[in-house]
Chain A
Amino acid sequence: MNATFAKSARAALLGALLTASAGVLAHNPMAECKPAADKEQIQCTGGFSDGSGAAGVTMDVISYDEQILVPGKLDKDSKLTFKRPDGEFYVLFDAGPGHVVEIDHVDIQ
């Protein structure tokens, strides 16, 4: 076996050891909302902490008295745009039981 091969094999092994990690990939839901350019609209984005998107996932805009104002689904870019409702409301990113993110209207500014 030639020395060059042994050397490159050692370098590859060292590289593999240095880059290997036992990191845990969490899958927590995440969402953020911000006013769109015209201030009348709000754009919300959903996703997961492992970097995956949330196309088609439910995102509802709900008033404080639990009326669903905008029943929404995230588009292919994991986004939902809607007109800012009057009164107090919150946005609920709902990826299933126990996988929700709630954003209050006072936090959208």
Chain B
Amino acid sequence: MIVAGPMRGTPVGRFVLRVAAWLPAAFVVWYLAGPVLAWPIALLTSAVARFAFSDVVQAVEQHGHVLTIVSTLKTTIANTTSAGVISVDVDILLYSFGLPMLAALILAARQPHAARRLILAYFVLAPFVTWGLVAEFLKHLVFDTPLGIAAQAGFSPLQREVIAFAYQFGSLILPSVAPAVFWVLTHRRFLESFAGDRT
């Protein structure tokens, strides 16, 4: 079905120019508001990490846009009695750069209820950001710590493969694809005006 809405006849070129115009401002706002935007994501990540990986997660602390995930894995220094636990710093910005891209797309589309779409976008994308953060934490535990320490987590070979895939997918695909998919899904009428436009 082609819907002949008010956006019919909008050239792709003009839309791209509007996206380019919104993008710098969106990136500035996203970067400056990083710690505030990170807070709900930090809460979600803390909940997911503590619930799903309670055996390896001791605490999650937010420091601006960086989360410190403290594990239960103990590390000992040879020939001493010193002991500590492994903690991993993960950067929320690394997994949320799709937010300013999506904001620019939403604002450039000039569709009704843009503010509502922006808020919805944030909460829909938050779980994908959490995916990336938790996967990076697990990747560090499993692949970036000495074997003796990593073994404390008790992950099976299959679980290690799943963690590797989840990390790669969560860092290379989801941060940019999830916002694009959200935009396509929530701007179907706008996209149909493109499909009908031959100007």
Do A and B truly interact? no
Residues in chain A within 8 A of chain B (CB atoms): none
Q: Which residues of B contact A (CB under 8 A)?
A: none
